């Protein structure tokens, strides 16, 4: 079957944003006289969101949600100032997006990143690809694993779920894809949480490199 819509997560799937989150985490730690963070610890938390990163940065495990939220906002304010410094496309993504456009295959982005950050980063780092749609929690009122963003993408693109794939680097991406009755793809090259196993997500496809996505792009 031809896949008519390729929908992607953002962080850890299309863009390698971990270097800038690492920079922000270290700035936050420095503010509280803490040493440099472990890059691998930061990288594996990026797709889990800013609360997870703030919790790691200041060792807030077990602290109240209110305290974590204060430092999450603190981290995001720092991140806003450096979010374009070192972020770049994963190797192979440019080829994937160019082929989708050349073959006139529908595609777009569905992310848990707030639109404030997503728009800034996407249109700076991916703007050359004429992105058909960017869907954020701001647009649908909920975050993945709720499927609302994916269902909105299906409506926007006028595509059947069984002819669409959602690709992401976290278990919640596969959960959202399955809830939307879409084909699912796991970006195993992304920010997989420590101790997690991509194979246990039960995705329809597992991509160890972005270039492997090319095999699914057809125009016939």
Gap between the Cα atoms of 21 and 210, Å rounded: 22
Q: Which of 123, 137, 129, 88 is nearest to 106 (CA)?
A: 129
The sign of the dihedral angle between the CA atoms of 146, 149, 152, 158 is: negative
Cβ pair 129, 97 in contact under 8 A? yes
- Residue 166 belongs to what H/E stretch? strand 164-168
> Could you confirm whether 202 is annotated as catalytic?
no
In terms of phi and psi (left: phi > 0; alpha: psi -120 to 50; beta: otherwise), the region of 68 is alpha
- Residue 107 belongs to what H/E stretch? strand 106-110
In degrees, rounded to 5, the angle at the alpha carbon of residue 38 between the alpha carbons of residues 36 and 40 is 155
Q: Out of 9, 16, 20, 169, which one is annotated catalytic?
A: 9
> Could you confirm whether 11 is annotated as catalytic?
yes
Gap between the Cα atoms of 61 and 66, Å rounded: 12
Round the CA-based radius of gyration of the chain to a whole number and report it. Answer: 17
Instruction: List the end-to-end C-alpha distance of the chain, in Å, as a whole number.
Output: 10
For residue 128, what are the contacts with CB-CB under 8 A and spacing of at least 6? none
Residues serving a catalytic function are 9, 11
């Amino acid at each position: 079957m031809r896949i008519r819509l390729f929908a992607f997560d953002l962080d850890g799937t299309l863009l390698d944003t971990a270097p800038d989150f690492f920079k922000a985490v270290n700035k936050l730690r420095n503010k509280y006289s803490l040493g440099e963070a472990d890059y691998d610890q930061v990288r594996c938390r990026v797709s889990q969101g800013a609360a997870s990163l703030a919790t790691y940065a200041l060792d807030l495990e077990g602290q109240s949600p209110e305290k974590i939220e204060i430092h999450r906002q603190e981290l995001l304010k720092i991140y806003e100032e450096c979010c374009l410094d070192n972020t770049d496309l994963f190797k192979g993504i440019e080829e994937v997006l160019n082929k989708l456009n050349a073959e006139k295959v529908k595609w777009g982005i569905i992310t848990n990143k707030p639109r404030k950050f997503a728009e800034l980063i996407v249109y700076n780092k991916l703007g050359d690809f004429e992105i058909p749609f960017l869907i954020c929690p701001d647009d649908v009122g909920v975050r993945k694993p709720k499927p609302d963003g994916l269902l909105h993408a299906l409506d926007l693109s006028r595509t059947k779920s069984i002819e669409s794939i959602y690709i992401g680097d976290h278990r919640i991406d596969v959960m959202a894809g399955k809830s939307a009755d879409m084909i699912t793809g796991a970006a195993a090259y992304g920010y997989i949480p420590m101790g997690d196993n991509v194979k246990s997500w039960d995705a329809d496809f597992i991509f160890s490199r972005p270039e492997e996505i090319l095999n699914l792009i057809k125009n016939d």
